[in-house]
Structure 1
Amino acid sequence: MEAKDTVKYGIVGVGMMGREHLINLHHLRSEGVAVVCIADPHLPSQRLAQELAHLFNWPIKVYSGHQELLDSGLCDVVVVSTPNMTHFQILMDIINHPKPHHVLVEKPLCTTVVDCQKVVDAARKRPDTLVHVGLEYRYMPPVAKLIQIVKGGSIGQVKMVAIREHRFPFLVKVNNWNRFNINSGGTLVEKCCHFFDLMRLFADSNPVRVMASGAIDVNHKDEIYDGKVPDIIDNAYVIVEFENGSRGMLDLCMFAEGSKNEQEISIVGDIGKGEAFVPESIVRYGTREAGRDGVQTVKAEDDRIKYDGLHHGSSYLEHLNFLSAVRAKGVKAPAVDLQDGLISVAIGVAAQLSIEKGRFITIDEVLDKRNCKG
């Protein structure tokens, strides 16, 4: 596919994130992309997406289901931004479709490890299909800068990765699907797969076991949907141990709107420390030898970003990176692949299970699909 050729996108699921992808792709028009079709059974979401497409002067075909979109043959690339519990079947249908489609799927890859593994196995049989998992926090400028510092050896061998996310509660979604673990995979899968992915990236190692403590303490307690009270936790501490001996820790609170930064990431190595702050977009790093007076502070920016959107420009950079892989015709693998998606979900599943069982859960237990008994 030459640079001058238009890469045609279809978006399956045009709720909040689907429309966010549509806007990002609009800002990538100069790179030779166009959204040509969308699919969503929810009419209000369809209409909002159509209004955006009209504004962008993109004539689009509208379908109620993903299978019709695939069968239309209109697009080369499919963005999947539907509710979590639908990802598995949609991905399997895309991967098994006679016409190859490259895929960018929103996180989490699937809500269960078993489903993730089935997608990984199916995709192996389709070398003509690229699948990129939307763990876009890697691309946030302060996080990307911290990754660069850590990978450059400035802090030495990583020993501890601490991530704090103190934020607002889950947003309202179509039919309130995200209020229940059965739909979302649980808070530590739905929201925190981002952070488990970052931990693994910083540690440069695979997880061994997970211990977590969490609860529903403030949010959603007075909400009832179809006679059911939401069961998603709103705060947790999670410890992840890695093969190389490094450790990760997540401090999650979803009733902490009174925070200057939503995310604070701290990486400590044997010779130094680095920190990133979002949305301040500040990175600090220094060595043990230089001490406090030697700590440097930099403002992290990326001039390539044309649209900040909901995630500080990371979705724009994610699309730019994915488009590069698509244009490379299979020579270049997606930066965030199916294995990354699988492991990030596995850590989240292990953490959810650890809260339920009150003990460490090994990653092998989760990946081997054994019954995890107390």
Structure 2
Amino acid sequence: MVEQVRYGLVGTGMMGVEHLQNLAVTPGAVVTAIADPVSISLGWARDALGARGDGVQQFADAAALARSGLVDAVIVASPNYTHRDVLEPLFDADVAILCEKPLATTLEDARWVVDRAAQMTRPFWTAMEYRYMPPAAAFIDQVHGGRIGALRMLSIREHRFPFLPKVGDWNRFSRNTGGTMVEKCCHFFDLMRLIVQSEPVRVYCSGAMDVNHVDERYDGERPDIIDNSYTTVDFANGVRAMLDLSMFADGAENQEEITAVGDAARLDVLIPEGALVFSPRTGFLNPKRVEREVIAVDQTALDAGSHHGSTFYQHQKFIAAVRGEIDVEVSARDGLMAVAIGTAAEISALTKRVVEMSELGF
């Protein structure tokens, strides 16, 4: 019989609901408590739980949930700027934690999370689910397996839809999100570190808010979140990486395109198409020898969320870590480093200069 794990959820908005949908298809996961200060958000959670919601306790905040003794693990899916306040009582309760990205909106708070997580006896996992999209995971395995030779260049493109409305419009302002390069792009900076297997040395970002939200006003205030950018990252091992972001390219056939170029070949992954395209070097004027395969994603995983199945696979890993079956794969420090690169990119875009990671203490 599968060992049951009692889950609490703090933050029952759009991402919180996606977690509930994935827990419904995670063997042994039982939701016992939810928390959110906004009643409409709690209603969304109740709708998502359906019959599974019978007996689920409802709280107004994380502290009350932590005191309840009803949970073994807690998912933190509250707004970015609340993470430190939400995590403090959960750390005190020493429950297992899956914390949504970004870890925090500031480096001070992210470093605090790393320090507190190191004192835990239970797992702390940063929710970087893009690692677990099956096509991306296959891509990473092949790069690490040496299929392209020695990796020299990595590029990631996300061309997507604008930020969606959130309760209270909190995601329209960088003070709440950490800025687009932290809020959205921490996923890709995490992928860069994972794929390159080295640490960032310097960052340059050219970006601005040029199309989206320019006519919006909230209490007379104009949003200040980047909607397009190019970011380059130099790594300590000599690999260079680049992120191409557009938040007004929702008509693109593929939302994510990742390309790794080694000294022997190039490898591309296209999502949601799911294609892996392998292009070995052939020499001038010789016939191309491109190989193409499509990586399948389980329909159950696809149906449970909007991140190409990745949230489902992340939950299978997290619950295994909670049971002590595997080690944590995405640590608090991984979350900190993704915030750090994003923070450097935000500074670079604002000041129009290269930012050395040493300036930020790395």
Whether the 8 Å contact between 1:27 and 1:307 is mirrored in structure 2 is no
**Equivalent in 287, 292, 301 of residue 296 of structure 2:** 301
SS at match of 2:218: coil
After superposing the two structures, state which structure 1 stretch, 315-324 or 58-67, moved more: 58-67
The RMSD of aligned alpha carbons is 1.5
**Equivalent in 304, 307, 314 of residue 311 of structure 1:** 307
Deviations 1:195-220 (A, max 9, x none): 01111111111100100100111110
1:148-159 aligned within 5 A: 148-159=141-152
Distance 1:119 1:347, change over 3 A: same
TM-score normalized with structure 1 length: 0.93
Distance 1:32 1:80, change over 3 A: same
Q: Which residue of 1 aligns with 2:9?
A: 11
Matched, 1:36 2:36: no
Deviations 1:241-287 (A, max 9, x none): 00000001011011111211111100001111110111111111132
List runs of 5+ in structure 2 lacking aligned partners. none
SS at match of 1:8: strand
Matched, 1:75 2:71: yes
Aligned residues between the structures? 359
Whether the 8 Å contact between 2:156 and 2:259 is mirrored in structure 1 is yes
Q: Which residue of 2 aligns with 1:90?
A: 86
Shift of 1:57: 5.3
Distance 1:318 1:116, change over 3 A: same
Shift of 1:59: 2.6
SS at match of 1:10: strand
Deviations 1:320-352 (A, max 9, x none): 011111111xx6321111111011110000000
Whether the 8 Å contact between 2:105 and 2:339 is mirrored in structure 1 is yes
SS at match of 2:15: helix
List runs of 5+ in structure 1 lacking aligned partners. 369-374
**Equivalent residue letter for 1:258:** G
1:304-343 aligned within 5 A: 305-308=300-303, 309-328=305-324, 332-343=326-337
Distance (whole Å) between structure 1 residues aligned to residue 302 and residue 181 of structure 2: 28
Percent of matched pairs sharing the same residue: 46
SS at match of 1:228: coil
**Equivalent in 107, 113, 121 of residue 107 of structure 2:** 113
Deviations 1:36-95 (A, max 9, x none): 110000000111211222333543100011100000000000000000000112122211
1:96-175 aligned within 5 A: 96-97=92-93, 100-126=94-120, 128-175=121-168
After superposing the two structures, state which structure 1 stretch, 253-262 or 283-292, moved more: 283-292
TM-score normalized with structure 2 length: 0.96
SS at match of 1:293: coil
Q: Which residue of 2 aligns with 1:371?
A: none
Distance (whole Å) between structure 1 residues aligned to residue 24 and residue 255 of structure 2: 27
Q: Which residue of 2 aligns with 1:23?
A: 21
Distance (whole Å) between structure 1 residues aligned to residue 224 and residue 111 of structure 2: 26
Shift of 1:292: 6.1
Distance (whole Å) between structure 2 residues aligned to residue 186 and residue 341 of structure 1: 15
